């Protein structure tokens, strides 16, 4: 049972911000929103996570709506190396279930 | 640079053969996950261990798959007998997790299994 909905694919121009949306309308109060990405043929890589507040780290920013039913991952200045599948996951700190994700293609 | 290592990286075998995949988690990590990735099903969680004890293996076909942690530095995933439908990339991940900490998992490079 999918807990998140993401667009299957998106394009972004190199140097521009990439905004990846995720809907998680059935998220429960103690579940976090996690983002991972998988670059071709590699294992997934953790990006960021959040509960209620917006979060920022060296890789990305995470904006969570006030009702927590959706979120957006922002890569502020996308590079060609950011081309990957991005997974949005809701989880309560234990196992995580990966969906189909969004395939982001950064174009020159 | 601490990393999760997996062996072998590639394995081709014939249907009916036993396959053992190994994972060395990052030293000090207490939780180990096994995932399987195929084009059709995507990334599926098979099982995970905390402090070497199995916490959840509900994603794993019980009749032919088994996962163990003989010690803190080694996790194994075994398929016996293997079938063509087991062809996939198998990822191991580890993390330092408890009920309160966030779930950052570090993934290995994967084992690409082909069963003929």
pLDDT value for A93 = 64
Q: Would the pLDDT of B75 be above 70?
A: yes
pLDDT value for B104 = 86
The Cα A49–Cα A33 span in angstroms is 5
* Residue ranges, chain A, pLDDT below 50: none
Task: Indicate which of A35, A90, A95 best probes the interface with B, i.e. most B CBs within 10 Å of its own CB.
Answer: A95
Residues ≥6 apart with Cβ < 8 Å to B63: none
**Which residues in A have their CB inside 8 Å of a CB on B?**
32, 34, 36, 38, 41-46, 49, 87, 91, 93-101
Torsion of CA A98, B55, A32, B98, to 10 degrees: -140
- Is the distance from CB of B51 to CB of B36 less than 8 angstroms? no
Shortest distance between the Cα of B107 and any Cα of chain A, in A, equals 5
Asked if B102 lies within 8 A of A32 by C-beta distance, the reply is: yes
Of B44, B100, B103, the CB nearest to A34: B103
pLDDT value for A92 = 76
pLDDT value for B59 = 87
Which residues in B lie closer than 8 A to residue A55 (C-beta atoms)?
none
pLDDT value for B31 = 92
Which residues in A lie closer than 8 A to residue B35 (C-beta atoms)?
98
Asked if B105 lies within 8 A of A44 by C-beta distance, the reply is: yes
B58 or B76: which carries more pLDDT confidence? B76
**C-beta neighbour count of A29 within 10 angstroms:** 8
What average pLDDT score do residues B37-51 get? 92
pLDDT value for B99 = 65
Closest CA to B35 of B90, B107, B76: B90
pLDDT value for A94 = 67
For A23, half-sphere exposure in the C-beta direction (CA atoms, 13 angstrom radius) is 6
Which residues in A lie closer than 8 A to residue B60 (C-beta atoms)?
none
pLDDT value for A62 = 98
pLDDT value for A96 = 80
C-alpha B64: how far from chain center: 14
């Amino acid at each position: 049972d999918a807990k998140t909905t993401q667009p299957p694919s998106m394009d972004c121009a190199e140097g521009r911000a990439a905004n990846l949306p995720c809907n998680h309308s059935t998220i429960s109060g103690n579940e976090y929103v996690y983002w991972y990405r998988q670059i071709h043929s590699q294992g997934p890589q953790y990006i960021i996570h959040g509960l209620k507040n917006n979060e920022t780290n060296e890789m990305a920013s995470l904006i969570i709506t006030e009702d927590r039913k959706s979120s957006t991952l922002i890569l502020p200045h996308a590079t060609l190396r950011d081309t990957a599948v991005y997974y949005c996951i809701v989880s309560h700190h234990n196992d995580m279930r990966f969906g189909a994700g969004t395939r982001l293609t950064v174009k020159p | 640079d601490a990393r999760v290592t997996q062996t072998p990286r590639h394995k081709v075998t014939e249907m009916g053969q036993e396959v053992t995949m190994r994972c060395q988690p990052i030293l000090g990590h207490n939780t180990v996950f096994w995932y399987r990735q195929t084009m059709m099903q995507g990334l599926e969680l098979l099982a995970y261990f905390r402090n070497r004890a199995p916490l959840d293996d509900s994603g794993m076909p019980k009749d032919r798959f088994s996962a163990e942690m003989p010690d803190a530095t080694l996790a194994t995933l075994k398929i016996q007998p293997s079938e063509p439908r087991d062809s996939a990339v198998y990822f191991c991940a580890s993390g330092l997790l408890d009920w309160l900490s966030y779930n950052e998992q570090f993934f290995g490079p994967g084992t690409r299994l082909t069963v003929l």
